[in-house]
Chains A and B, each alone.
Chain A
Amino acid sequence: MGRTPVAWRNMTHRPLALAGALAATAFAVLIMFMELGFLMGLFDSQTALLRRLNGDLVVVSAVRKNLVVDETFPRARLAQAERVPGVGTAEPVYIEFGLSLVTNPQDRVQNPVRVIAWDMRDDPLDIPELGEHRDELRLLGTALYDRASRRFVGSFARSSETEIGSRRFEIVGAFALGADYYYDGNVVMGAESFFATFPGRSREDVALGVLRLEQGADASEVGDALRAQLPADVDVLTRDDLVAREIDHWRRTTPVGYVFSLGLVVGFVIGVAICYQILFDEVNAQLSQFAMLRAIGYEDAFVSRIVLQQSVFLGGLGYAIGLLLTGGLYRGLTHVTGITTELTAARAVLVLVLTLAMSVVAGHLAKRRALTADPAELY
């Protein structure tokens, strides 16, 4: 038989108090996850398209400091880029938002979505669902619909008909990219359909230029060469730098970025403080038991181990319950808003570390009290 699990028994002998403390800890964890989910959902969704770019370097207009402002650059820059040593291919991507209304087949309401287009012989975006539809999309009036768009944009069965702009379209399939805080949904089409639908757009004006390098070429060296040789009307960035710049834009210059950042900081302070308060309180409530253990001759090391164990048990268990609640919250948010709110391992670990750190600090402080108190005084 093993030893008596003192910490465990201590915790469970008052099930109601334990349930209260666990619920409070779990909720403190949930608050941290909620605020984290809001901010990371913003960053993830605003950069979802950029993270799908299928290349090492990206060319954008020099005045395009964020993705939502409609700025293009001359296609000739891509031909120039292809002549720079190390550059394999340079492929243009075209984007329309202002005029791209898609009719919802269910309620006939027209909703603006982002239309992303490229020559279907190219491969500038990583869309796994594209493969089987590539040939179909070269026909005029065919498009792929983003099934992760907001639900009010409509649901499109394969081969369903709709209008995009003022042109009839056949939806030949679906892919998943997701809505963001600016765009309610996405459509992908071939360049021919794009220019036929939006006559104001020109093949010569490119939104994003995706560069793939030759085998063995170094992205930062080729980037430097491109920046030196291309005119100043374009910027050349690595995909990661472009993603970082987009996140920076949303964090620094938009109200929603500020609000969610503030929410995250305050939410973490609140979550951590409440974790600490609840854990300290719960362990503190049992100080007399610990004093009793000391009075009957248990060593300090034994008592302090039990106090710490108990605190970490509470923190860990509270975290596990909070994590379950978070899973439900994130799924609900993704479903209702179309903003992909993801529980990545790094985010889960960040909150776990904070929770456990608070358990240790709270346990440590409670332990000091348990060891310094005169047993008799506690009665």
Chain B
Amino acid sequence: MSTPIALRNLTHDRRRALSAVLGVGFAILLIFMQLGFRAGAERGATLVYDQLEFDVVLASPQYLFVARPRTFARPALSLALDHPAVQKANRLYVDYGRWRNPETRERHGLLLLAVDPEERPFRSREIDDALQALRHVDTVLIDTETRPEFGPQTPGTETELEGRRLTIVGRYTMGTGFVANGNVTMSDQTFARLRGRTLDRVSLGLLTLAPGSSPDDVALELNRALPGDVVAVPRSRFEAAEVGYFLNVKPVGIMFTTGVLVAFVVGTVILYQVLASDVQAHLREYATLKAIGYELRSIYAIVARQGILLAAAGFVPAWGVSLLLYYLLRVHARVPVEMTPGRLSGVLALAMLMSWSATLLALRKLRRADPADLF
């Protein structure tokens, strides 16, 4: 067996190797962390819509984002149903409300969703079935992702929402990301009593289309027929706009996007710097190899292998710590962030690319130099 020169080179000065692995690892961790933050904001933006069944949505032209949808007049839904491709037109009411924690008596703001339980507007059968418990007025279902400050979530718990006494009659799991700290769903009848309003103004109309019809075409046709206080938007465009609002308009999204950009620049430079200075430090050894007759190509191979070893040694622990960070984010911040294969392989590719460019640049000296000069 041939001597594993790359490995020996790395390990003969253990403290130095450890310090380089540390530098590489932390640069990679930084990139993973910032990417994770941003991905959480991105995925979190559409958590509510992910649970709802619709192909085209009706919304006010003044719609901002899920918690600030504004309203339009209800007859637009009947108009939409006149379109041959529209099979269902469900109503969704969205608002903020003040929820009293029955144990501490404190009040906290959360997101309210109200639907007609008969319409079964959710994608998941479990939630639609749970809605059936809302037939009695002044009952709510609570999202299990609601933060602990809102108090107990067990069915039967009595509390107050906007000063009105309510009973929790069930639970579902949805999550609201950066939108809100909690979420409850109620029947439209309860919502009307809570707000002291009729149900004539709707936040969103959820349209389901006949199989095979194109949401883009239907939305276009609907917009010709509908009054000016409402617009029809295909689901994909609606969700893309929601994500865009969180990432590009909300301060938190802009901070995360900035974080990702800075992390990439900084992480790349530091990866390069650590790897290049490692090659630099071993230049004498390579010069010796050159002097005793090794071909330049095989020296390159050794150094490249060494760079990959170093990048990999830093990558693995960074990956592990990132998984821990993502777990903490899911549990404590309730932000939906997972390590996707795309992110994993993208960051790995970046580390490898940096390792090779560091090798190539650092070895230019070796190619030109007389080995003896390097001493």
* A74 within 8 A of partner (CB): no
Contact check: which of B44, B251, B266, B274 meets A179 at CB < 8 Å?
A: B251
Residues of B with C-beta under 8 A to A68? 109
Per the CB 8 Å criterion, the residue count for chain A at the interface is 60
With A27-B265, A285-B281 known, 19 other A-B pairs at CB within 8 A are A20-B273, A20-B277, A23-B273, A68-B109, A69-B108, A71-B98, A112-B64, A255-B335, A259-B40, A263-B259, A266-B29, A267-B33, A278-B273, A281-B16, A281-B274, A281-B277, A329-B258, A337-B251, A369-B15
Interface stretch (choices B121-129, B130-138, B217-225, B326-334) = B326-334
Interface stretch (choices B19-27, B296-304, B341-349) = B19-27
Residues of B with C-beta under 8 A to A329? 258, 262
Q: How many A-B residue pairs have CB under 8 A?
A: 152
B273 touches A256 (CB 8 A): no
A residues with CB within 8 A of B: 17, 20-21, 23-24, 27-28, 30-31, 34, 38, 41, 63-65, 68-71, 98, 109-112, 152, 179-181, 253-256, 258-260, 262-263, 266-267, 269-270, 273-274, 276-278, 280-282, 284-285, 329, 332-333, 336-339, 369, 379
Interface bits B271-313 vs A (CB < 8 Å: 1, else 0): 0111011101100000000000000000000000000000000
B residues with CB within 8 A of A: 15-16, 19-20, 22-23, 26-27, 29-30, 33-34, 37, 40, 44, 62, 64, 68, 96, 98, 100, 105-109, 147, 149, 177-178, 181, 249-252, 254-255, 258-259, 262-263, 265-266, 269-270, 272-274, 276-278, 280-281, 325, 328-329, 332-335, 375
Contact check: which of B262, B273, B332 meets A24 at CB < 8 Å?
A: B273
A255 to B252, CA, bound (A): 10
A interface, by DSSP: helix, strand, loop or mixed? helix
Closest to A69 in B: B109
A141 to B252, CA, bound (A): 34
Given contacts A278-B273, A284-B281, A339-B251, contact A255 B23 (CB under 8 A): no
Given contacts A20-B277, A277-B274, A281-B19, contact A30 B266 (CB under 8 A): yes
Task: Report B281 CB to chain A, min CB distance, Å.
Answer: 6
Closest to B104 in A: A65
The 6 closest A-B pairs by CB, nearest first: A277-B23, A258-B333, A27-B266, A337-B251, A24-B273, A255-B333
A27 to B273, CA, bound (A): 11
Closest to B322 in A: A266
Closest to A97 in B: B96
Residues of A with C-beta under 8 A to B98? 69-71
Residues of B with C-beta under 8 A to A98? 96
Complex A-B: 5 CB contacts under 8 Å: A41-B255, A69-B98, A270-B29, A281-B23, A281-B274
Residues of B with C-beta under 8 A to A379? 375
B273 touches A21 (CB 8 A): yes
Task: Report B315 CB to chain A, min CB distance, Å.
Answer: 15
Task: Report B322 CB to chain A, min CB distance, Å.
Answer: 10
Residues of A with C-beta under 8 A to B15? 369
Residues of B with C-beta under 8 A to A152? 249
B280 touches A17 (CB 8 A): yes
Residues of B with C-beta under 8 A to A20? 272-273, 276-277
B107 touches A71 (CB 8 A): yes
A278 to B335, CA, bound (A): 34
A254 touches B181 (CB 8 A): yes
